[in-house]
Amino acid sequence: MARVLEQETRFSELFFDYLHCIQALAGATGTPEPALRRFELALLGHLGYGVDFLHCAGSGASVDDTMTYTYREEKGFIASVVIGNSSFTGRQLRALAEREFPDADTLRAAKRFTRMALKPYLQGKPLKSRELFRQFVPKKTPPEPSDSSQ
């Protein structure tokens, strides 16, 4: 976080989001991905990176769950027939707006978006939060095979 925040600036709400993320990770029984994505989206908001996930930047119309939108830095999401790494469905955009990730596809879309949006702030360096958060999420070990001969 230190790399993307201005020095000497107070971000008390961000640190509450950070605390909530760490608490969610510490209590997580499944994948840490939803907590990480929520924190990254909150971080973007605190950086002033306000993205309208619910409206097409080109037309102003509400996103349609069945349409595809391409993300354009500093513009937003624009309806598109081209599908690529910067493309998202309207359904995915609604999920991002609500900070809800009902399936693996939506989680992957959230990760793609946060990586794209944070990239200019990171100046080509990797995000270190994953390393830090691994400290709070115990590595899952496979269950011991049961002895069925008894």
CATH number at residue 74: 1.20.1440.120
Q: Is residue 110 part of a domain?
A: yes
- Contacts of 87-90 with CB under 8 Å at 24 or more apart are 88/112, 88/113, 89/65, 90/63, 90/64, 90/65, 90/66
- In total, how many domains does the chain have? 1
Q: Is residue 146 part of a domain?
A: no
Q: Is residue 2 part of a domain?
A: no
Q: What is the pLDDT of residue 74?
A: 82
Q: How far apart are CA 77 and CA 93, in angstroms?
A: 9
Q: How far apart are CA 81 and CA 6, in angstroms?
A: 38
Which helix (H) or strand (E) segment is 34 a member of?
helix 33-46
Q: Is residue 139 part of a domain?
A: no
Q: How far apart are CA 26 and CA 14, in angstroms?
A: 18
What are 40-91's pLDDT values in tens digits?
898 888 888 778 999 999 999 999 999 999 999 888 999 998 888 889 999 9
Helix (H, G, I), strand (E, B) or coil at 50: coil
Place of tokens 């990797």: 126
Q: Is residue 148 part of a domain?
A: no
What are 89-147's pLDDT values in tens digits?
999 999 999 999 999 999 999 999 998 888 887 777 766 666 666 665 555 555 555 55
Q: 79: domain range?
A: 12-134
